Amino acid sequence: MASLTPLLELINTGVANLQSVEKKNNTPIPNLSQPFHPSLEAFRSDPVAAEAAAHVVAAALQLVAILAPPVDSLYAFAVAGSLKTAALRVCHESNVSEILREAGTQGLHVKDIAQRNGLEEKKLARFIRYLASSHIYEEVRPDVFRNNRLSSLLDSGKPSADVISSPTTKHDESNGLGALIAHHLDEVTHAAAYTWENMADPKTAHSYESSHCPLATQLGREINLWDYLAEPEQESRRNRFDLAMKGTQSWQPAAAVLEGLDWDKLPEGSTVVDVGGGVGTSMVPLVENFPGLKIVVQDLPQTIQNARQFWAQKNPQAVAEKRVSMEEQSFFDTQPERDVDVFFMKNIIHDWSDPDSKKILTQLRYAAGKDTKLVLAESIIPYTSRTSEQPTDYKNRVPGSVLKQAPAPLLPSFATAPLIMTTDMIMLILVAGQERTFDHMQALLLSTGWKVNEVRHPASEQVMYSFYIASPA
């Protein structure tokens, strides 16, 4: 029992802290049976509650790992993941959440759900019930189901008749989460099933070419996600992916970029180049808060066309005053000759393998002056082993590089670490890219002539990346 006691103490302390914050701030802990609403996440804005929730979740998962029969746990891991994915895709693509939202809290019999989405009643009941056993949907009476906190996140918010009649526009003007889930249940799931075949093939096993990823093995041709989505016949998938990516940006506070550097210490007229910046959404807070900066948004031609439209609506005055400019540029090509104070890249390096990332970073190093800063917004993979709180010699010169660890006996990486590691697997499967540990990123930057001076971690728990601040080595 000794091994269980510390975990139980963490749970008890965490629950007590959550209840205390709930009372103090009047921020209720969510009810699993209630549909999701952003206001129900307000309790996490208190750091005490956020940490308490992380401890409780991690301890509960560790208790399951200890107490569940190991054969059952391993078998469930091997089988349940793919089956839950299959069940979730059936319900998501057939608009079960939209239908149940319209039915209200009393729920709806599966025969009525099936009548509206056209699926076979008894099969559909099995899929929804399987998800309900994992707290996605609720079975309020035999064969009568309703939405709950998790299943309601799949709801597009549109009339079920509209999404049933026009499935390709289901995610238009949505928050992007449904599009992201659909993308993972489709492209990622199909490609993931071929990961072993990809790893066992002598041609692809040791390759980091983006066209040698598991997606290519699944499709039977050398291709990566970007090229696949660019094909004319994949227009609906491309649109869905674009909506998903816009959604992921909107869920994280745009103002987090303000924490990435002491922007106010840059001289008036300093040039900031957003490399691979899309339409330049990340630069909006800088333009609004630091009018003395000159912002250059770089990306490929089609994206830059969209960027011009974006800024024409968002801040035409900044464009007219030449505080914001757009530039067609591949980050694999030589940068234009000019003085650059900051090269900024958000979630770019994780899309690429080390060989390709070296090409990108080397081009920026060639274009950098002695005082140029490189700011990378990238996730940091934590180690699952407990490391010394005393940093090694080189880490001692890099503030922020030692990640906060969960208290023993929890895994030091907390329960949220698998989200970053899941993204790492997705990068490998779709584009042969990867998330990196601090040590890996440090070595990568040093090999291209950059050294990390500092790592900053945004205050918001919603932000899944940190800021590497580097300078020419």
Check 55, 183, 212, 350 and give the catalytic one. 350
Catalytic residue status for 183: no
DSSP string, 79-99: HHHHHHHHHHHHHHHTTHHHH
Establish how many alpha carbons lie within 13 A of residue 212's alpha carbon, considering only the half-sphere containing its beta carbon: 12
- Cβ atoms 323, 410 nearer than 8 A: no
Half-sphere exposure of 365 (CA within 13 A, CB side): 18
408 contacts 202 by C-beta, under 8 angstroms: no
Provide the residue type at 22 as one letter: E
Q: How far apart are CA 247 and CA 134, in angstroms?
A: 25
276 token code pair: 């691979």
Q: SS3 for 150?
A: coil
- DSSP per residue, 328-370: E--TTSPPPSS--SEEEEES-GGGS-HHHHHHHHHHHHHH--T
Q: 235 in the Ramachandran plot: left (φ > 0), alpha (ψ -120 to 50) or beta?
A: alpha
For the chain, the C-alpha Rg in angstroms (whole number) is 24
CB 137 within 8 A of CB 131: yes
Integer Cα distance of 39 and 36 in angstroms: 9
Distances in Å between the Cα of 419 and the Cα atoms of 379, 382, 410 are 10, 11, 17
Give the amino acid at 396. N
Which residues are part of the catalytic machinery?
Answer: 350
